[in-house]
Amino acid sequence: MRGYVTKRLLIAVVTLVGMSMVIFVLMRLAPGNIVDILFESAGYVDQADKKQLERELGVDRPLVVQYARWMGEVARGDLGKSYRYDMPAWKIIKPRLPVTLELAFLALLFSILLGVPFGVLSAARQDRPLDYVLRVLSLAGLSMPAFWLGMIIILVFVRSLGWMPSITYVSPLVDLKANLWQFAVPALAVGYRSSALIMRITRSAMLEVLREDYIRTAWAKGQRGTLVVWRHALKNASLPVITVVGIEFAFLIGGLVVTETVFNLPGVARYLVDAIQLRDYPVVQNLTMFIAVVVVLANLAVDLLYAWADPRIKYEKA
């Protein structure tokens, strides 16, 4: 196992280096830079001042030099300075990370708690009324955008209960109860869509496992239905479910732009869009690399969970 993890970590490093090159080049291919945007907003262009600002920000240097400088700063733990705010990029990113991570974790928790049990029930009650109801609900979850569902939930709460979620972010360190109430609605809205996907995958995997000979043998021996379904069948059907859960978590980290905007949450995904529009290279590069790191680590965690779910998987022999 140790050798496999070491090999995967080395592959992850190579992957992240390649991703950093792609991110760096794509940002420079976008028309305009922070200097052009600043001078256009000011309404005039003084070429001498523009050249001076380009030298100060380092955007006049060759791309190879700019990339090497960025990689050197990352290796030293320095994420550079934001062009927009003229302050270290880490000071801007740091307070936004907990917001996105909390929303992603809560949404993933909702999706697992809803998707896995309902998927198992749907498979165990195949072609019965409960199965049809759960399949309709899952299709509805896959069809509805999370931000639209969140807006509908807010309207229902406002009109029916006279309750309005806080429009300003409340830290859990300040008021944990208010923080959880604020995140409950967006997490449920996002988690519903993920739970629908997890439920469909769980149902498909369970249907295949329930047709296996050893499951029929367990039924024939008179074992309890709940024991056969929830202990034997679910564990053997968990590999594709683990894969989807890992992919969904990686997707949630970078895919919460609209949700954070609708619920006025100052998270990473929402700020990334603003930084791209302003060509704030240090912030965009580091935020995108953070998302890439989450994706790589999520895939590694999924592979390691395979061995836990299925003892037959031995990575030393891979």
Residue 179 pLDDT class (50, 70, 90 cuts): confident
Last residue of a domain, one of 241, 266, 291: 266
Query: For 10-57, what is each residue's pLDDT tens digit?
Result: 888 898 888 888 888 887 787 766 777 666 665 666 677 777 777 777
Residue 200 pLDDT class (50, 70, 90 cuts): very high
Q: CA nearest 37: which of 215, 280, 302?
A: 280
Rg (CA), the chain: 24
Residue 3 pLDDT class (50, 70, 90 cuts): confident
Query: For 231-287, what is each residue's pLDDT tens digit?
Result: 778 888 888 888 888 888 888 877 777 788 777 788 887 788 878 877 788 888 888
Instruction: Match 């999706």 to its residue by tokens.
Output: 111
Is the domain of 75 the same as that of 113?
no
| Confidence at residue 201, expressed as pLDDT on a 0 to 100 scale | 92
Q: Decide: 199 and 119 in contact? Cβ < 8 Å.
A: yes
Q: What's the pTM?
A: 0.79
| Confidence at residue 93, expressed as pLDDT on a 0 to 100 scale | 84
| Confidence at residue 318, expressed as pLDDT on a 0 to 100 scale | 44
| Confidence at residue 199, expressed as pLDDT on a 0 to 100 scale | 93
Is the domain of 71 the same as that of 113?
no
Alpha carbon distance 149, 241 (integer Å): 24
Q: What is the mean pLDDT of residues 117-134?
A: 90
The C-alpha angle 113, 119, 120, rounded to 5 degrees, equals 95
Residue-number span of the structural domain to which 43 is assigned: 2-93
Question: For the chain, what is the domain count?
Answer: 2
Is the domain of 181 the same as that of 217?
yes
Is the pLDDT at 118 greater than 80, yes or no?
yes
Mean pLDDT of the chain: 81
Is the domain of 189 the same as that of 49?
no
